[in-house]
Amino acid sequence: MRPTLFSLTLGGLAAGLIAACTPEDMPEAGDGRALFVENCAVCHGANAKGDGPMARAMAKAPADLTLIAVRNGGTFPRVDVLSTIDGYTKSDEKLPNMPEFGALLEGDLVPLDTGDGVMTPTPRKLVAVLEYIESVQQTR
């Protein structure tokens, strides 16, 4: 497929996805809590404070996910958090124990604005976990 035709096709699919999703179709924090407990709580703890059952056995303690915005000057960095959850920014030095969560990338897509004003098709489960983590941010 030629690049121009491919771009037009991809753009049309993204526009259709965005038009098809209504606000009530979007995942919310409550949807992500169960996924968080299933995938993340063993290390980060049920309340996302970095105190899960596996935390003591790890060479580098898991991050307190309730302080992400505090560590970033009061702004929740949606793109960085998404990249960390899905494994794109995995680095053995930065996040030596962080697994990749391929299952969160499966399933249908929803449009998500990560802060740049562009609605990007993103896996629903990944958005749900993101919404949950954003909902537990403290202002300290």
Q: Please determine, for residue 87, whether its predicted confidence score (pLDDT) is greater than 60.
A: yes
Biggest alpha carbon distance in the chain? 53
Q: Is residue 120 part of a domain?
A: yes
- CA 18/CA 28 separation, integer angstroms: 17
pLDDT tens string 6-23: 454 555 555 555 445 555
Q: Please determine, for residue 5, whether its predicted confidence score (pLDDT) is greater than 50.
A: no
Q: Please determine, for residue 91, whether its predicted confidence score (pLDDT) is greater than 80.
A: no
Terminal C-alpha separation, the chain: 52
Q: Is residue 130 part of a domain?
A: yes
What CATH number is given to the structural domain containing 74? 1.10.760
- CA 52/CA 106 separation, integer angstroms: 25
Element (H, E) at 111: strand 109-113
Give this prediction's pTM.
Answer: 0.77
Element (H, E) at 116: none
Q: Please determine, for residue 79, whether its predicted confidence score (pLDDT) is greater than 50.
A: yes
- CA 67/CA 93 separation, integer angstroms: 21
- The range of the structural domain enclosing residue 41 comes to 23-135
Q: Is residue 5 part of a domain?
A: no
Question: What is the per-residue pLDDT for 18?
Answer: 47
Q: Please determine, for residue 90, whether its predicted confidence score (pLDDT) is greater than 70.
A: no
Q: Is residue 81 part of a domain?
A: yes
**Number of structural domains the chain divides into:** 1
The answer to whether 36 touches 101, Cβ cutoff 8 Å, is no
Q: Please determine, for residue 118, whether its predicted confidence score (pLDDT) is greater than 60.
A: yes
Q: Is residue 15 part of a domain?
A: no
Q: Is residue 8 part of a domain?
A: no
- Mean pLDDT value of segment 99-119: 86
Distance of CA 55 to the CA centre of its chain: 21
Q: Please determine, for residue 136, whether its predicted confidence score (pLDDT) is greater than 70.
A: yes
Q: Is residue 88 part of a domain?
A: yes
| 76-81-85 Cα angle (round to 5) | 155
Question: What is the per-residue pLDDT for 115?
Answer: 86
